[in-house]
């Protein structure tokens, strides 16, 4: 494809088998809603399992939210090559297993290979690592991928936006992850929240002894 023919910004979204498949689904929904993006989706077998366990979506419905579906084992896919230009990749959620694979360039599946390509090409790679509690090995893996250029962003919700529903938390987290990738998302609530709570002046004053 000639450069002039690339009109949409390509984003890879990977759903691995950690809890929180809804984050990846929500990212796909936001990108589709905003328009102008060509989404490439990879779902690991464990990711398919969590979509089934945690959401009302079928795998087919999630795949239909993307523009291009890639098989987890297709290490010859377009996105496995650095010459195929993409803006970046979001792994949402990212399991400890996938984090480990990325940290050691274990490119035996397409999620790990595409992530490795993003790092070697100095493209955005955001990992919504979801595991808790963490042992030192997890923390060291996070430190290593950070050294290689990835951004580790555990999907820890912010409560200053006063979320009421799980859906609101998922939207805010997915929007923030896309924001970190340099994608402007109108659904993102930024601090200070417009018309949001304001700390009473008295709360700023030192307490009397």
Ligand X SMILES: Cc1cc2nc3c(=O)[nH]c(=O)nc-3n(C[C@H](O)[C@H](O)[C@H](O)COP(=O)(O)O)c2cc1C
Q: Which residues contact 49 (CB under 8 A, 6 or more apart)?
A: 17
**What count of Cα atoms within 13 Å lies in the side-chain half-sphere of residue 71?**
4
Q: Is 19 in the site for ligand X (CB under 6 A)?
A: yes
Q: Is 69 in the site for ligand X (CB under 6 A)?
A: no
Answer for the pair 10, 46: CB distance below 8 angstroms, yes or no. Answer: no
Residue 84 CB, shortest distance to ligand X, in Å, is 22
Q: Is 173 in the site for ligand X (CB under 6 A)?
A: no
Applying CB under 6 A, the span of 1-9, 22-30, 93-101, 114-122 interacting with ligand X comes to 93-101
Q: Is 97 in the site for ligand X (CB under 6 A)?
A: yes
Q: Looking at beta carbons, which residue is closest to ligand X?
A: 17
Q: Which residues contact 193 (CB under 8 A, 6 or more apart)?
A: 160, 161, 162
Using the structure block, give the residue that is written with the tokens 């087919």.
Answer: 60
Q: Is 44 in the site for ligand X (CB under 6 A)?
A: yes
Q: Is 50 in the site for ligand X (CB under 6 A)?
A: yes
Answer for the pair 41, 74: CB distance below 8 angstroms, yes or no. Answer: no
- Residues forming the site for ligand X (CB under 6 A): 16-19, 44, 46-47, 49-50, 53, 95-98, 130-131
């Amino acid at each position: 494809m000639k450069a002039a023919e690339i009109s949409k910004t390509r984003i890879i979204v990977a759903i691995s088998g950690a809890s929180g498949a809804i984050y990846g689904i929500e990212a796909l929904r936001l990108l589709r809603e905003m328009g102008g993006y060509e989404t490439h989706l990879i779902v690991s077998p464990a990711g398919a399992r969590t979509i089934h366990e945690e959401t009302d979506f079928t795998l087919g419905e999630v795949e239909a939210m993307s523009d291009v579906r890639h098989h987890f084992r297709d290490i010859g896919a377009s996105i496995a090559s650095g010459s195929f230009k993409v803006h970046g990749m979001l792994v949402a959620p990212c399991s400890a297993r996938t984090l480990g694979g990325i940290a050691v360039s274990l490119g035996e599946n397409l999620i790990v290979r595409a992530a490795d390509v993003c790092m070697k090409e100095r493209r955005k790679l955001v990992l919504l690592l979801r595991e808790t509690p963490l042992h030192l090995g997890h923390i060291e893996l996070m430190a290593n991928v950070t050294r290689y250029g990835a951004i580790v962003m555990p999907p820890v919700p912010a409560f200053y936006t006063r979320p009421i529903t799980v859906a609101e938390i998922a939207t805010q987290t997915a929007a923030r992850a896309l924001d970190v990738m340099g994608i402007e998302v109108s659904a993102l609530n930024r601090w200070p929240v417009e018309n949001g709570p304001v700390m009473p002046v008295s709360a700023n004053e030192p307490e009397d002894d």
